[in-house]
A and B are shown apart, each in its own frame.
Chain A
Amino acid sequence: MSERKLSPLEQDLATYYSAHEGSFPGSENSRITELRNSAFQSLMETGLPTKKDEKWRSTDMKSVVANTYNLNPDAQEYDVEFSEMFRCDVRGFEADVISLSNGWYYAPEEEKLQVYDNGLIIGSIAIAQQRYPELFEQYFAEIADNTSHGFTAANSALWQDGVFVYVPDGLHIEKTLQLIKVVSSDNQLMTNTRNLIILGESSKLSFMHCDDSVNHNSNLINTVTEVHIGKNASFDLYKLQNINDETTLLNNTFIRQYADSRSKVSVLTLNGGCIRNEIHVDFQGEGGEADLNGFYLMDKKQHVDNQVFVRHSVPNCYSNELFKGVLDEEASAVFNGYIYVARDAQQTNAFQRNNNILMTKTAKVNTMPFLEIYADDVKCSHGATVGQLDTEALFYLMQRGISEKDARLLLMYAFIADVTGKIGIEALKTSIEDMVKKRLRGELSICEKCVLHCSRPDVTLEFDIDMSKV
């Protein structure tokens, strides 16, 4: 075997890894060190993905891996209270805000790991791994699969900080926990953020993960999130993505569900240069339910890639995937759903749907809804469509005096409403729907602050329908 030629980024990662070996968080913990070592081995063996990898054929990382990045950026200091600056203005939507600045947990030193009276723990993963070795022993790096591709392996080897959340048994957290990730620096940077979320039995958590960028550097954000959902627990995850057109965002989410647990994931992609969302759901106990939804509204030369793997290893689980997107200008989208039903996973219900609307000649969609099924008593289906707005519906609206432009907007808005309608928090739903409207009208640009600020919820948006004609 000849040695593989390393790409510039692989070279940098290797150099960085050997220079910092021993000083990464958890280096005193032999298990974590071992995990880092094996992940690094795996990265060096398989390398970062290229177009030759089947799963990455339509998402080209060539320019990304040819770049050099600042691998160890400092946390940006802010004059104002960070959480105040990004606190959601959405009326009626209350959230506790935590934040990461350039990948580092951003809070005063003494607040970096907070243990509440009810047993809830929220804080920096780097500190949590020292404080709670027994939880890390049980949960950390249990489900993130380093062999899936080089970026996950790179994250497992080089992570330095991230968010740790522990919800004890029986605890219901009513307020949404909002994580704001801001990336801002003078040079291009790469962050390897690692999150670990643990939900105890019969607990409940709603988590919002906002990816924002402040400036226009070509950053590379590589996040791995592991979520353990205990028996009968329920977890809602909202991923709101509104980053600049230059940044590459790789979000790898691994979810393990125990018996009778419920998960609901909404991936809301409003803007971003290159976004790849990988969601892996693995059912470990019977009676689990996973509802995975997403929409993407892309234009310019933006690219979005949603990879959803659902593994039904046990009987009696339910999964549903619904992803919808509108592609304008030269945007491109990839959807790859993968439902795997193991030999004994009888009574599985698994559904998959991907609908796309192409607006221009230059937009592109590659959709791959896959099924791999080894059990007979199952109900599985998938569907995919690529097309345009329904011309009859369009005619119907125009016939009633609505201008073509508005009619198109209305129909697109209705198209996306299937996904936005599934957002469980009423106030958030209204706000997102407003943002969709704005985005479709091309009025939403990335805000300097949190995405949710942009929606100006105090101003109600109306389509400019000429009432005199109705």
Chain B
Amino acid sequence: MEEEKRKNDVLEEVTSSEYKYGFVTDIETEHAPKGLNEDIIRYISAKKNEPEWMLEFRLKAYRHWLTLEEPDWALVDYPKIDFNDIIYYAAPKKKKELESLDQVDPELIDTFNKLGISLEEQKRLSGVAVDAVIDSVSVKTTFQDTLAKHDIIFCAMSEAVQNHPELVRKHLASVVPYTDNYYAALNTAVFSDGSFCYIPKGVRCPVELSTYFRINAANTGQFERTLIVAEEGSYVSYLEGCTAPQRDENQLHAAIVEIVAMADAEVKYSTVQNWYPGNKEGKGGIYNFVTKRGICKGDRSKISWTQVETGSAVTWKYPSCILKGDDSIGEFYSVAVTNNFQQADTGTKMIHLGKNSKSTIISKGISAGKSNNTYRGLVQISKKAENSRNFSQCDSLLLGDQCGAHTFPYINTSNETSIVEHEATTSKISEDQLFYCQQRGVDTEKAIGLIVNGYAKEVLNKLPMEFAVEAQKLLAITLEGSVG
């Protein structure tokens, strides 16, 4: 009983730990009026100084969006979003074009320092090129010189539209068309910025590319759009991180990430998603409705998604791979942690079209508090995908008796030479494991940390080093000792 009580205390203590990125930065911002209509889209497009084809594209998406209905099939429950009560464009006021870091608003640098993303430090030490996106606008991309040497393009999407229109035109919406889903259409209509990344033929990107997203202004939605193109035989590792201030109202984040991998190319995409999850009573937090998809276009190409999902009030996110090339490989590694009143409906789609295509899905769900954590995935083997192979493993860990863990896998197979395997288990932390640790003098809290980390290790191992450390810390913050 005593032990039980202590465990509960620990749980209480830990789950009450505050969101540490919840501060607001006082930066002058300019924003569009609230609401969504064609004028707003024209306003955004004009702000970005976009060519005519881009505006037309946005308007087409908007008109299509009007005909769609909000999807309700996910196992999440939230009040209806009033899409006219959102500011679709907010940007830190720009004084002039930035040449060096010294010209960046000190408030901004401060913000990123607080987040642990020191633009300056990053530049010198860790060898990571960072594109920082605040509210709707990319504020600074570091490491440009090194990248330029290799002819790698890594810049804000708005810049890419100006400077590399032919590349953008060719690949934008080629993986996620605006007709794909409700939020994809919305994003296409109003997206403000994001990162664009182009790795030329045969180039192995020498540094890890990273984008840091932050929502700062109140009442805004963030709609960024990322496009990664890896030409034949190239390689890139891409990281994405995100945080938002603590606010009582919910904020919408509807992003699109597209990846195109040509023959023999490899793209590794890692995310640590730590949007504000709302407070202990479930008030506030980010609605994270994101469409992420990559296409292995060429033979022997590879796309690997790794995600650590700890934030957001509601998550609706299915990073997917279209395995079009023969011998192409798709991977999905995910740790999704929910606590308090968080709801996550996340998973992946592996669409096998090419011969000998292979995919691996490892998903680890951890639910605590009163949260609900759902894995939803599709493995589709088409008629022509000879000898394709999939292995999926989706485990759920329940910490406490008030949370839920759900698994909804869909497996559609139409080829007799393919092999598809799926397994899943749901359990709580085993008393035996706990006892074993305690017996050896490890206290309850540490023991649980150890077990949870061990449980998630398979996925954390896939993260680049800088992120792995951050992810492990995050896991510890969210879960330490939370066994009921």
Which residue of chain A has its CB nearest to the CB of B386? A361
Known: A363-B416, A370-B408. A376 touches B421 (CB 8 A): no
Most chain A CB neighbours (cut-off 10 Å) among B413, B421, B422: B413
Interface stretch (choices A64-72, A190-198, A383-391, A444-452): A383-391
B403 in contact (CB, < 8 A) = yes
Partner of B420, one of A376, A380, A385: A385
B414 in contact (CB, < 8 A) = yes
Q: Is there contact, CB below 8 Å, between A373 and B401?
A: no
Q: Find chain A residues with CB under 8 A from B399 CB.
A: 376
Q: Is there contact, CB below 8 Å, between B416 and A388?
A: yes
Q: How far is the CB of A231 from chain B (nearest CB, A)?
A: 27
Known: A373-B404, A376-B400. A385 touches B422 (CB 8 A): yes
Q: Find chain A residues with CB under 8 A from B403 CB.
A: 374, 376
Known: A361-B415, A368-B409, A376-B400. A387 touches B420 (CB 8 A): yes
Interface stretch (choices B159-167, B338-346, B423-431, B469-477): B423-431
Alpha-carbon gap, A344 to B381, bound state (A) = 38
Q: Find chain A residues with CB under 8 A from B83 CB.
A: none
Known: A363-B416, A364-B412, A388-B416. A373 touches B422 (CB 8 A): no
Q: Find chain B residues with CB under 8 A from A383 CB.
A: 421-424
A360 in contact (CB, < 8 A) = yes
B411 in contact (CB, < 8 A) = yes
Q: How far is the CB of B338 from chain A (nearest CB, A)?
A: 13
Chain B interface category by residue count: 35 or more
Would you list which residues of chain B between 100 and 124 have a CB under 8 Å from chain A? none
Q: Is there contact, CB below 8 Å, between A369 and B419?
A: no
Alpha-carbon gap, A284 to B454, bound state (A) = 38
Most chain A CB neighbours (cut-off 10 Å) among B396, B415, B422, B426: B426
Q: How far is the CB of B72 from chain A (nearest CB, A)?
A: 11
Q: Is there contact, CB below 8 Å, between B424 and A382?
A: yes
Chain A interface category by residue count: 35 or more
Alpha-carbon gap, A365 to B421, bound state (A) = 13
Alpha-carbon gap, A344 to B403, bound state (A) = 11
A375 in contact (CB, < 8 A) = yes
Known: A343-B401, A387-B419, A388-B419. A370 touches B413 (CB 8 A): no
Alpha-carbon gap, A411 to B419, bound state (A) = 17
Q: Is there contact, CB below 8 Å, between B404 and A384?
A: no
A426 in contact (CB, < 8 A) = no
Q: How far is the CB of A367 from chain B (nearest CB, A)?
A: 5
Q: Find chain A residues with CB under 8 A from B418 CB.
A: 386-387
Q: Find chain B residues with CB under 8 A from A386 CB.
A: 381, 411, 413, 418-420
Q: Is there contact, CB below 8 Å, between A371 and B406?
A: yes
B410 in contact (CB, < 8 A) = yes
Alpha-carbon gap, A363 to B381, bound state (A) = 12
Alpha-carbon gap, A343 to B400, bound state (A) = 11
Q: Is there contact, CB below 8 Å, between B427 and A378?
A: yes
B310 in contact (CB, < 8 A) = no
C-beta contact mask, B424-454 vs A, less than 8 Å → 1, else 0?
A: 1111100000000000000000000000000
A186 in contact (CB, < 8 A) = no
Would you list which residues of chain A between 342 and 361 have a CB under 8 Å from chain B? 343-344, 346, 356, 358-361
Q: Is there contact, CB below 8 Å, between A373 and B398?
A: yes
Given pairs A377-B428, A386-B420, 12 additional interface contacts (CB within 8 A):
A361-B383, A369-B422, A370-B407, A372-B75, A373-B404, A373-B405, A378-B427, A380-B425, A381-B423, A381-B426, A382-B422, A387-B418
Q: Which residues of B contact A (CB under 8 A)?
A: 73, 75, 381, 383, 396, 398-428, 484
